Amino acid sequence: MPDQFEALRQAIEAAPLDSEEAVDRFRIAYLSRKQGRITELLKQIPSVPPDERKAFGRQVNLLKRRVEERIEEAKARLRTARTTPKPEIDLTLPGRRPLTGSIHPLTRTLEDIKRVFGSYGFDVAEGPEIEDDWHNFTALNFPPDHPARDMQDTFFLEPPDRPHGGILLRTHTSPVQIRVMESQPPPYRVIVPGRVYRNESISYKSYCLFHQVEGLCVDEGVTLGDLKQILHVFARALFGDDVKMRFRPSFFPFTEPSAEVDIWWPDPADPAGGRWLEILGCGMVDPNVLEAVNVDPERYTGYAFGMGIERIAMLRYDIKDIRLFYENDVRFLEQF
Ligand code: PHE
């Protein structure tokens, strides 16, 4: 007898109730009124000898309850499986957009500047960010101890009074004028983009590093008229054909005469209003500079200019704080 119950118990536990049909078949096999196996056993109870009847009846009822439990369990499980959506691929959903990044506004501005001057035959030259006194100052006609050196507060790596002193973070891109002219004979027609460093107090409008583009053109017969023309072309390309531009006399040791160039910035709120904004420095290359690099100033003349890329980008994109360029905050960068 115990064996019979044990075999039945194992069969009940092992039945795989993985579909509604399987559950139905299971219920019929055990509980159906006609030939269900549990039903048969229940029918036998009255004929079991009285001293075994109680134990027999208990066993049968335990098995019956187990069959019912398994059926309830399986039904519940199949019901949730039916109502929970399967993790399928939904081809109608929009795709996930890849992060593409964008071009930094300084790079973009520089690319535009390169394009304008490139179309007028200017090559791109570069030079080191760590310079010596000769290239950053002396060859550019800043005499030693001349107050013009104080126009740019400088980061020295070696103080000027040391034997190999005067090593510094370049304060402008003009030293590359010297390097270009030292490396090959005239004519020259280059622009020089690059980083420069100054000991500025940091604020919305100045930072300890920034970027410049230098321009240099030296050939026979180059005049101030050529300088004005190329700068006008440049200003129109970057700020629009109706840009108003003026030359304001200024001083740089390495150009003579020298000027600063301003453009007129209309006030969007007031048609009569606006102001002049300085965008670059320029002038005719000083004969002393040509002599320093052994170019004959009687035969060759030239012009040079230098502009801050940040200044131009801030005007074009209406950026109010120079520090935004260096923080790499995606919320700023993704606007370009
Ligand atoms: N180097 C100058 C500056 O940094 C700009 C400049 C370049 C002026 C070339 C004249 C000619 O202020």
Tell me which of 171, 178, 252, 280 to substitute to probe ligand 1's pocket, judged by most ligand atoms within 8 Å of the beta carbon.
Answer: 252
Nearest CA to ligand 1 atom 10: 282
Tens digits of residue pLDDT in 322-334: 999 999 898 999 8
113 burial type by CB count under 10 A (0-12 exposed, 13-18 middle, 19+ buried): buried
Quote the distance between the C-alpha of residue 306 and its chain's center.
27
CATH number of 105-333: 3.30.930.10
Which atom of ligand 1 is closest in space to residue 196's alpha carbon? 4
Longest dimension (CA), the chain: 138
Contact 296, 82 (CB under 8 A): no
Does residue 89 carry a pLDDT above 90? no
Task: Give the residue, by CA position, lying nearest to ligand 1 atom 4.
Answer: 172
Collect all residues with Cβ–Cβ distance below 8 Å to 246 and sequence separation of at least 6. 261, 262, 263, 264, 276
Gap from CA of 252 to ligand 1 centroid (Å): 7
Return the ligand 1 atom nearest residue 307 CA. Answer: 5
Domain coordinates in residue numbering, the chain: 2-83, 105-333
Percent of the chain at pLDDT > 90 equals: 77
Q: Which of 142, 172, 197, 303 to mutate to test the pocket of ligand 1 (most atoms within 8 A of CB)?
A: 172
* Beta bridge mates, 213: 193, 307
Q: Residue 171 CA: which ligand 1 atom is closest?
A: 4
Could you tell me where the beta strands, DSSP code E, fall in 125-227? 130-131, 168-169, 188-197, 209-219
Query: Between vectors from CA 310 to CA 308 and to CA 316, what angle results, nearest 5°?
Result: 110
Structural tokens at position 279: 């965008």
Which stretch of 19-23, 96-100, 299-303 has the lowest confidence by average pLDDT? 96-100
Pocket test for ligand 1, best of 174, 284, 288 (most atoms within 8 A of CB): 174
Span from the CA of 62 to the centroid of ligand 1 (angstroms): 100
pLDDT of residue 148: 82
More confident residue, 81 or 120: 120
**Tens digits of residue pLDDT in 271-294:** 889 999 999 999 999 999 999 999
Which residues, judged by CB distance below 6 Å to any ligand atom, belong to the binding site of ligand 1? 172, 174, 214, 252, 255, 281-283, 304-306
**Interval 17-72: pLDDT, tens:** 999 999 999 999 999 998 899 999 999 999 999 998 998 999 999 999 999 999 99
SS3 at position 190: strand
Q: What is the reported pTM? A: 0.72
CA-nearest of 148, 139, 66 to 285 is 139
Which amino acid residue places its CA nearest to atom 12 of ligand 1? 281
Residue 240 banded pLDDT, cuts 50, 70, 90: very high
Query: Which pLDDT does position 254 carry in this prediction?
Result: 98
Type of residue found at 196: V
pLDDT tens sequence across 108-146 = 999 999 999 999 999 999 999 999 999 999 999 998 888
CA dihedral 320, 321, 327, 330 (to 10 degrees): -10
Task: State the distance from the centre of ligand 1 to the C-alpha of 235, rounded, in angstroms.
Answer: 17
What does residue 289 show for φ and ψ, rounded to 5 degrees?
-70, -45
Residue nearest to atom 9 of ligand 1 (CA): 305
